[in-house]
Chain A
């Protein structure tokens, strides 16, 4: 664990975008590259993460910094199409499409809470998705997958890192698109992602050091990912050099 070694955190505008300064030192990524982001608001939020650290630096709380580092370093070395394919692949096991048959109360809760968001996605993207109680999951038509592939291709590579991150956290492409399209809030998306847990918690009670702990962490990561996607897709940053593939 590292102690906080800097007094002041500030932002400066360089050639390629916005940089973070810890005292007089420029922040770098884990791989040693200069930390530079295309959006000023994103830089402000990252600077706030660094400035919020008290005595020790808790990297596990700095989700936006982590996302920027991933976008800059690309440690899994994936290009845009690989990110898109990874994202769309999640549709085959999308949480909101995977239904139980029992207990009946949970099955009904899934219908009540998940059917509307599936219907929203089908209407919004003009696709067929459906849901399934089979262990194999829903049968997603190829045309549906291609529609999502085309749609995601309109996002730049930074935003796609964020989208893929949110999908991995929520275990659902549909809920993630609901967030990206501002159809649902982060709190609602997390609730829908954790529907079965919430059902069990209602029945058996909540264990603060596990349930609430996981809930807060999922909310934090999902909120960070969503904010990251929106800040990297804004029209003021769209033509930015950093965001070219």
Chain B
């Protein structure tokens, strides 16, 4: 069986990720179907530290996998925005990098 750690920790992490992901225009993240499903599923299965119930382990694995998905997507997007999100520089910016300015050509390029 996979080393999953504490179900409570997984649940907290999952709810945190849903908080980061959700909350559109006045609708609180607690109202979303995902949040309500997660809370209901954990409550129904009473996921505890007992290693006995197979259904509990399956639910915990699923929750941990979903947590990994949400967290990785968020982290990936943050890295993307930081390093790859800015696009190309304009010609003016490129000239400015080495201290030049593009010439003014009122009649357009020759």
In the complex, the number of residue pairs spanning A and B with C-beta atoms less than 8 Å apart equals: 98
**How far is the CB of B17 from the nearest CB of chain A, in Å?**
10
B83 in contact with A185 (CB, 8 Å): no
Number of interface residues of B (CB under 8 A): 33
- Interface code B22-56, partner A: CB below 8 Å = 1, 0 otherwise? 10110100001110010000000000000000000
Among listed B66-74, B88-96, B98-106, interface-contacting one: B66-74
A132 to B68, CA, bound (A): 32
Quick one: closest B residue to A213, CB to CB?
B79
B32 in contact with A209 (CB, 8 Å): no
What is the interface of chain B, defined by CB distance below 8 A to chain A? 1-4, 18, 21-22, 24-25, 27, 32-34, 37, 57-58, 61-62, 64-66, 68-69, 72-73, 75-77, 79-80, 82-84
- A220 partner, pick from B2, B22, B76, beta carbons under 8 A: B76
What is the interface of chain A, defined by CB distance below 8 A to chain B? 7-8, 10-11, 41, 44-45, 47-48, 51-52, 58, 61, 63-64, 182-188, 208-209, 212-213, 216-217, 219-220, 223-224, 226-227, 230-231
A45 in contact with B34 (CB, 8 Å): yes
Known A-B contacts A182-B61, A188-B2; the reply to A220 vs B69 at CB < 8 A is: yes
